[in-house]
Amino acid sequence: METDAPIDNNGKGERFSPTDLVATALGSCMITLMGIAAQNHDVNIDGTECEIEKIMTANPRKIGEVKIWMKVHGSLNFSEKEKTILKNAALTCPVYRSLNEEMQKTVEFQWV
């Protein structure tokens, strides 16, 4: 896999940066764990998707925040219990737990 630094950090910005991959890993891990939980509880979340925004800080240069909008598709009417199961799966994924607590993780769930 080839990566590149962004233009504002001496790169060409032609490929994903390592910090892009961290943010993407978080979203994909969350959605994967939600899929496992859904399968274990016979809940349909087919078509679920997430949008990710990574916000860098300047001094020190690091990921300051990752915003994730989780659009959960599948069941027509998710029960509160199903929502809790799916949220807990997402918010306890290994990547979420591994990231530094200083990095803000803002997650919004939309049930459609």
Q: Residue 2: which pLDDT band, with cuts at 50, 70 and 90?
A: confident
What pLDDT shows up at residue 103? 96
Partners of 105 in beta bridges: 66
Domains by residue range for the chain, with CATH: 7-111 (3.30.300.20)
The tens digit of pLDDT for each residue in 82-99 reads 999 999 999 999 999 999
The label of the residue with tokens 């300051």 reads: 64
Length in residues, the chain: 112
> What confidence tens digit (pLDDT) does each residue in 40-71 have?
999 999 999 999 999 999 999 999 999 999 99
| 54 vs 12: CA distance, rounded Å | 18
Q: What is the pLDDT of residue 12?
A: 87
